[in-house]
Every structure is written in structure tokens, then in C-alpha cells.
């Protein structure tokens, strides 16, 4: 999918009720809170007395889940939900929507996932040669097939999940709902977050703590990398067989861009981490300027930190139209450019006649950043100094972040900051250093994946690229 900004893959939510809780409504509101993690498709699966049913479709949460859809889902004691962003232009949003509901000889289950398997191609080929038939191109169906295969030869769903983890490589934060249990598993590296919350005697699992807040749940703790969490009528327990088997490697963009600023990820507040990133930028290089502004949304917290550290006043530089979805979900480049024009409007009284420091979270291809710089120029800014809370992107990501091909990354075409600034129409451009971005979490207790900056990956990249040879045919067929 052609894009100028980074894209996250998805968000997950699950609830097991030991109280009188409307699990469908809880999932609905939680997905609203997680909508920023994926705007292409969404879905909810609910379990009522051992029977699992669900609904998913392309679109935003409030469009997909009408009153009639929610009513038809009925009630139950468990539910899982998912919001998704597709990472391939040939993917079918409807075909790849989650949760998946699977029926097999030992029962049924529902599954949703956040992440990307590095051995997707190998697993899919192996399963297809055994006669497994796939309807989607996503990792979730691969994980479901591996779990079901293990379930057929083991005595419990949690044992099957643990055995499946021996075959899965890469990034995954996955929720599985069986007729009696809600299970969460996080890959041994902990690439993407997964946390546990509680309401009275009931438990929830979610990609971010903001989802817990949306339904009045209290944060309990994060799921540890490699941990399998089991929730049923007896409460919560976990299996830690795969814990501490790999070095921790949280995706740094959970703090830089992906997560909501009111979330707490692996013990660190996202807002504070972004403010620290802004402070590091101010320390790296002194700029004579009149005002600091942030590009909504994730650049605002960093701009506040930059202003606080530099002593340059912070100002509200842009008004964001909250009723427009993120620009990357538009089907063509022209559509995306039109949406950018009405999505952000500079506040002239803040920038006119002033030297401006503009803080953004990342520069991918550079075209969006260049358009925003032009907006500021047209609003009367005399100077525009671009500062970025991510180091330059120079390498692909294999773990769930949609970083384009290396040839499309502007940092590989303009390595000289002066040439890059000229290309963007800015007076100067600067990036946070790799060393500093790895320090942005509180007390530096977390270890981050920085492979997209350095080319050094914590685990082996895919032997062969993820193939979507059926996706285009599926997508073309659905358009007819």
C-alpha cells in the first residue's frame, strides 16, 4: 500500500466476564479506543454458553457495528475484538478482517493477532502441502492453523498454544477464545504490547491501557514476552515456559508513533516518552527560533518536551479535522494528498512572521512532510526547522510496521541533511539519534528493536518475502 507515513498493523482486545458484564459492548468501546491502531477493518467474536459467533467487515468501528449488528451478536461471557490495518496493496480488507472463527473436530475457537510472522511463507507452504486451505493472506490464519494442528494432538487449548509457539517466529500478540477459555500469548521478544486489566472478578486483555480505561478496567500488569495467559471461571493463570528465552525487543514506534499518548506500555507512559524524545532533540542541537509546534497527533507531546527543554515557547500550530481518518487508508496517492489538505490547517496567528521549529514523529517518503512545510510557508512562517523524533529510516521492518522498500525511503536518497532540507522545502532538518531514541522510555528499562534504522535485527529476517499470490485475485473478484 502506497503511503507516506508509518502504519501500525492492528489492535486486539479480549474480555472474560465472571460478573454481569455486557462483553459485546465492552469490546465495542474498547475497539473505539484502539481505532488509531487500524482503520481498515474491525470485528468482534462472542462466546455464549460454548457457542462462538461473530461479525467483521471492512470499515471503522462505528460504521461496521450498527445497533442491529450489536443486537444480533447477543450476549455471552467472553468476547474478543480486533482493528486492523492491511500492509499490502493487494490485500482484501474484508477477507482479512478478524477475529477468525475456526471449527475443528475438537471444538471451535476464535483468534485475532497483532504482528507479523517472519516464517509466514514457510509455514503457509508447509500447511498448503498438507492440504490446508486458506481464505485470507494474513498471519492470523497461519497462527490459527498451527494452533488447531497442535490442539488435535494435545489435551488442552493452552498446551496447544504453547506447542504452537515453538513453530511461530517473529512478532505476535495474539488472543484466542475457546468455548471455555480466553488465552493471550505474546512472542518471546515482546515486539508488540499486550496488557492485562480487571473489572471486579473479570479480566481483560488489550494492546494498550487506553482500551482498559474506556471500559473502566483497572490495569493489572503487562503480559511478559513469551508468556501465555489463561483466563477462565477460576480466574487468571499463566505459563512462562517461553519467557526469558529471547532478548526483549519492543518496537520503539509504540512510543514514537503507534500508541495513544494516554497509554502506558511496558511500564512507561507514552506521553512522557514522547516528551523525552522532544527534549533529546533540543539537547542535540540549538536552534534560534520563535515558536515550537507539533504535527498532530504524536508530534504534539514531543513538541511540548522540546519547548520545555529549549526555552522556546510552545504554540498550537495546526488545527486537525478530527472527522477525517488517517490519510494512509485512502486508495490512491491523489486521494491521500487531497485529504491531507483538509486534515491539517495551520494556525496563521501562531506561525506568521516567526521562525518555527516543527516537530514530527517520522519522515518516510517525505512527500507529506514537504506538503506540511509548504502549509507553514503559506501561513507566513519565515523559517521552518523540521525536527523528527525518529532516526532516519533506511531499512525495512519485518515485525509489523509498514516501512516501505529501501529505494522509497527518502533518507536513503538524501543522506546529507542540507540536501534533505532543500527537498522538503525546510531551512533545516534534524533527527533524534539512535542512541537517544533507545533511551526515551522511563529509566531506560526497556530494550527496543531498531532494525529499521540500523539494519541490525534482533532475530533472523524472513528467508523469503511474505507472498500474497492469491490476494490480487481475491480482491479483483470481490470488485466484480
pLDDT for residue 6:
53
CA distance 313 to 422: 26
Supply the Cα-derived Rg of the chain in whole angstroms.
22
C-alpha cell at 334: 491523489
C-beta neighbour count of 221 within 10 angstroms:
11
Residue 92, by phi and psi: left (phi above 0), alpha (psi -120 to 50) or beta? beta
Phi/psi for 312 (5° steps) reads -80, 135
pLDDT for residue 338:
60
Largest separation between any pair of C-alpha atoms in the chain? 71
- Note the pTM of the prediction, 2 decimals: 0.90
CATH class of 10-249: alpha beta
- The sign of the CA dihedral 299, 300, 305, 309 is positive
C-alpha cell at 362: 517520522
CA 243 to chain centroid: 23
8-state DSSP, 394: -
SS3 assignment, position 35 = helix
Sketch the domain layout of the chain as residue ranges: 10-249, 272-442
Same fold, 10-249 and 272-442: no
Of the listed 10, 47, 162, 397, which one is catalytic?
Answer: 10
CB 170 within 8 A of CB 188: no
Check whether domain 272-442 has CATH 3.40.50.2300, yes or no: no
Q: What angle (nearest 5°) sits at the alpha carbon of residue 364, between those of residues 261 and 402?
A: 70
Which pLDDT tens digits describe the chain residue by residue (480 residues)? 334 555 556 999 999 999 999 999 999 999 999 999 999 999 999 999 999 999 999 999 999 999 999 999 999 999 999 999 865 554 577 889 999 999 999 999 999 999 999 999 999 999 999 999 999 988 999 999 999 999 999 999 999 999 999 999 999 999 999 999 999 999 999 999 999 999 999 999 999 999 999 999 999 999 999 999 999 999 999 999 999 999 999 999 899 989 999 999 999 999 999 999 999 999 999 999 999 999 998 899 999 999 999 999 999 999 988 766 544 444 455 555 566 667 889 999 999 999 999 999 999 888 889 999 999 999 999 999 999 999 998 988 889 877 667 878 898 899 899 999 999 999 999 999 999 999 998 777 788 999 999 999 999 888 766 554 544 444 444 444
Closest by alpha carbon to 212, among 83, 65, 33? 33
Q: Determine whether 10 is an active site residue.
A: yes
pLDDT for residue 2:
38
Amino acid at each position: 500500500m502506497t503511503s507516506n507515513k508509518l502504519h501500525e498493523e492492528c489492535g486486539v482486545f479480549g474480555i472474560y466476564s465472571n460478573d454481569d458484564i455486557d462483553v459485546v459492548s465492552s469490546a465495542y468501546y474498547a475497539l473505539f479506543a484502539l481505532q488509531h491502531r487500524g482503520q481498515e477493518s474491525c470485528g468482534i467474536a462472542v462466546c455464549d454458553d460454548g457457542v462462538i459467533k461473530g461479525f467483521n467487515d471492512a470499515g471503522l468501528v462505528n460504521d461496521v457495528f450498527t445497533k442491529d449488528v450489536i443486537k444480533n451478536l447477543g450476549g455471552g461471557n467472553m468476547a474478543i475484538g480486533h482493528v486492523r490495518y492491511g500492509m499490502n496493496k493487494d490485500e482484501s480488507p474484508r477477507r482479512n478482517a478478524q477475529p477468525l472463527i475456526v471449527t475443528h473436530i475438537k471444538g471451535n475457537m476464535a483468534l485475532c493477532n497483532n504482528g507479523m510472522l517472519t516464517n509466514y511463507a514457510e509455514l503457509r507452504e508447509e500447511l498448503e502441502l498438507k492440504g490446508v486451505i486458506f481464505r485470507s493472506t494474513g498471519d492470523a490464519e497461519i497462527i490459527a492453523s498451527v494452533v488447531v494442528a497442535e490442539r488435535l494432538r494435545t489435551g488442552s487449548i493452552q498446551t496447544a498454544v504453547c506447542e504452537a509457539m515453538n513453530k511461530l517466529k517473529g512478532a505476535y500478540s495474539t488472543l484466542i477464545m475457546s468455548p471455555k477459555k480466553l488465552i493471550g500469548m505474546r512472542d518471546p521478544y515482546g515486539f508488540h504490547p499486550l496488557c492485562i486489566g480487571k473489572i471486579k472478578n473479570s479480566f481483560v486483555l488489550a494492546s494498550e491501557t487506553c482500551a482498559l480505561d474506556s471500559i473502566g478496567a483497572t490495569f493489572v500488569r503487562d503480559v511478559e514476552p513469551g508468556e501465555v495467559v489463561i483466563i477462565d471461571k477460576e480466574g487468571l493463570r499463566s505459563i512462562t515456559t517461553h519467557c526469558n528465552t529471547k532478548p526483549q525487543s519492543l518496537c520503539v514506534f509504540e512510543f514514537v508513533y503507534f500508541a495513544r499518548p494516554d497509554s502506558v506500555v511496558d511500564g512507561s507512559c507514552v506521553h512522557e516518552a514522547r516528551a523525552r524524545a522532544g527534549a533529546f532533540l533540543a539537547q542535540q542541537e540549538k536552534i534560534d527560533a520563535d515558536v515550537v509546534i507539533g504535527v498532530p497527533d504524536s508530534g504534539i507531546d514531543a513538541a511540548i518536551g522540546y519547548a520545555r527543554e529549549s526555552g522556546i515557547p510552545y504554540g498550537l500550530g495546526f488545527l486537525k479535522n478530527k472527522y477525517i481518518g488517517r490519510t494512509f487508508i485512502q486508495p490512491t496517492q491523489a486521494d491521500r494528498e487531497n485529504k491531507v489538505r483538509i486534515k491539517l490547517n495551520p494556525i496563521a496567528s501562531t506561525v506568521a512572521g516567526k521562525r518555527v521549529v516543527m516537530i514530527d514523529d517520522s519522515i518516510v517518503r517525505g512527500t507529506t512532510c514537504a506538503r506540511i512545510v509548504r502549509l507553514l510557508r503559506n501561513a507566513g512562517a519565515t523559517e521552518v526547522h523540521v525536527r523528527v523524533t525518529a532516526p532516519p529510516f533506511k531499512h525495512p521492518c519485518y515485525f509489523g510496521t509498514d516501512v516501505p522498500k529501501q529505494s522509497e525511503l527518502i533518507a536513503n536518497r538524501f543522506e546529507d541533511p542540507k540536501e534533505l532540507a532543500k527537498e522538503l522545502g525546510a531551512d533545516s532538518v534534524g533527527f533524534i539519534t539512535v542512541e537517544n531514541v533507545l533511551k526515551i522510555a522511563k529509566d531506560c528499562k526497556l530494550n527496543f528493536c531498531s532494525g529499521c534504522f540500523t539494519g541490525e535485527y534482533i532475530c533472523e529476517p524472513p528467508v523469503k518475502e511474505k507472498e500474497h499470490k492469491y490476494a490480487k485475485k481475491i480482491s479483483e473478484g470481490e470488485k466484480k
